[in-house]
Structure 1
């Protein structure tokens, strides 16, 4: 038990230093609200595809949906095909990023999940970012799935549940039109 606590403390300190290394003093990081400008985020650990880090600045001009999920969340997994369809439909104008940040999911668990999907013929083509502390601080949540909609102007446009991720809403979002979606509670 004592070793586990020490490991968790050391891991959290490492993550805090990573966020600080992105130029954001930890004490200044506050949860973002709808309308807030999103600071630069670099997703260092991408577990599939070309596994290269992805930064928000590299997605300039694209609308972004951050899809927070967990391997044990059946609603999250059920939504993946729709998210992949949206990515294909709006390819040049939209980037969907799956964010695996459940405390119960390790990097190994997520990697195994991705490999199992490949083996069963339903691979995930969307980038999967692992355990990014900065997104946990900026977009806190207790329940999955959790969607954060970031406009091409890098402002938070919506924070929703899965039910709001419809073709009509994504059409409006990608077009840069106003969204009036119910905000998801943590």
Structure 2
């Protein structure tokens, strides 16, 4: 069964400083704004070709290094926009994608998206060590700016990478690049009333901790997302959420049971029964980064929870109880009659029944193929495109165990397009009323919110 793990524009990675370049010379991290960047050498892949490149060969151009990974959602999502910026500014700017992933991994990854025009026209450094050592970081994505004269201008998040900033720099204007902050998790949180040590720094649960709970406001430049920590037996005992809205925190808290594959409750399975919900969930245009960042700064939190022995209460249940107490709310799962998108068999289902062969599943934004795979695979792969964006709950009534062969050509983020492409295949997606579990959040007048 496919298990999908989502983190919206944030991922954790540990960095190493033990890289070398040249004749065994250690690479010194460039951390001082205005410092000259060493003449690092690295191999670049572009349009099927590979060549050796040095920083000095890029003099006269504004250089933007985009550090990411093939498993990093923002790294993928930003590529079209970065390719567009590269095309707009031409020879004046050089944007380079940088990843520690191997060329083999990257090549396989590119095959999924090779139909997307211009997305991968940008040069890419794979198997990276030198650039990551020179510009150490913990959170992805990470953007490093090098001036046309070869000096470090700064390291930022994706919000700074836009036409306005680039035009100002090329025009010789003074530009303030809001720095991306990369503190360790324990440095980002206020002391808790009950806490022990801060963990081993590897994302594992510190078994010396009996109970720890911390909450603070928005942390500028730290991105957003969740890290889950496990004990030595592999059980979830800790959760660290960075810059998340109250709505998102509750999605995490109830991300178990039927939502275990997603590790979050889909946004369309949450009902906010509140007189005023504007501070709970951002409803504006996600592409309007200025408005989004301003809203996040006022309405997002960093939350950390560790439990040595939750007993009958799971980590998630404890988190839900704490959130209710902190924000003066009452949350629970309730059955409600809702209009849903329903995946179900038709009378032509036999057309999809799998022939003998190896199990295979693959998808990209415009195509999906299943071979000898359970029908639940189709549901879960569609769900990853719909679970946040679509306003209507999506449920599976196929039973999930029948093995099928299916090739689907449609924009997978568009439910109507997928339903049309499935017509006559043996499966259909229809809109019908169903009684389903919904996460209901309402104000608890008997509890005073601790958080202003």
Q: Normalising TM by the smaller chain, what interval? A: 0.7 to 0.9
Asked if the contact 1:40/1:57 (under 8 Å) is kept, the reply is yes
Question: Residues 43, 77 of structure 1: CA spacing in aligned structure 2 closer, same or farther, 3 A cutoff?
Answer: same
Which residue of structure 1 lines up, in the alignment, with residue 151 of structure 2?
155
> Aligned partners of 2:171, 2:53: CA distance in 1, in Å?
23
Structure holding more helix per residue: 1
Partner secondary structure for residue 78 of structure 2 = helix
Which residue of structure 2 lines up, in the alignment, with residue 106 of structure 1?
102
Larger displacement relative to structure 2 (167-176 or 88-97): 167-176
TM-score normalised to structure 1 length:
0.80
User: Structure 2 residue aligned with 1:178, among 171, 174, 177?
Assistant: 174
Question: Residues 122, 64 of structure 1: CA spacing in aligned structure 2 closer, same or farther, 3 A cutoff?
Answer: closer
Question: Residues 58, 20 of structure 1: CA spacing in aligned structure 2 closer, same or farther, 3 A cutoff?
Answer: closer
Question: Residues 86, 108 of structure 1: CA spacing in aligned structure 2 closer, same or farther, 3 A cutoff?
Answer: same
The offset of 1:48, in angstroms, is 3.2
> Aligned partners of 1:71, 1:58: CA distance in 2, in Å?
27
Gaps of 5+ in 2: 1-16, 183-452
**Corresponding pairs, count:** 165
C-alpha RMSD of matched pairs (Å): 2.1
Partner secondary structure for residue 87 of structure 1 = helix
Question: Residues 61, 167 of structure 1: CA spacing in aligned structure 2 closer, same or farther, 3 A cutoff?
Answer: same
> Aligned partners of 2:108, 2:34: CA distance in 1, in Å?
37
Give the greater-gyration-radius structure (CA): 2
User: Structure 1 residue aligned with 2:45, among 44, 47, 64?
Assistant: 47
Which residue of structure 2 lines up, in the alignment, with residue 91 of structure 1?
90
Partner secondary structure for residue 158 of structure 1 = strand
Question: Residues 145, 60 of structure 1: CA spacing in aligned structure 2 closer, same or farther, 3 A cutoff?
Answer: same
Gaps of 5+ in 1: 1-11
Which residue of structure 2 lines up, in the alignment, with residue 25 of structure 1?
25
Asked if the contact 1:151/1:176 (under 8 Å) is kept, the reply is no
The residue correspondences of 1:67-78 to structure 2 (distance < 5 A) are 67-78=66-77
Asked if the contact 1:173/1:179 (under 8 Å) is kept, the reply is yes
Question: Residues 183, 123 of structure 1: CA spacing in aligned structure 2 closer, same or farther, 3 A cutoff?
Answer: closer
> Aligned partners of 1:124, 1:76: CA distance in 2, in Å?
12
Structure holding more strand per residue: 2
> Aligned partners of 1:36, 1:183: CA distance in 2, in Å?
16
Partner secondary structure for residue 53 of structure 1 = strand
> Aligned partners of 1:81, 1:160: CA distance in 2, in Å?
19
Partner secondary structure for residue 51 of structure 1 = strand
Which residue of structure 2 lines up, in the alignment, with residue 141 of structure 1?
137
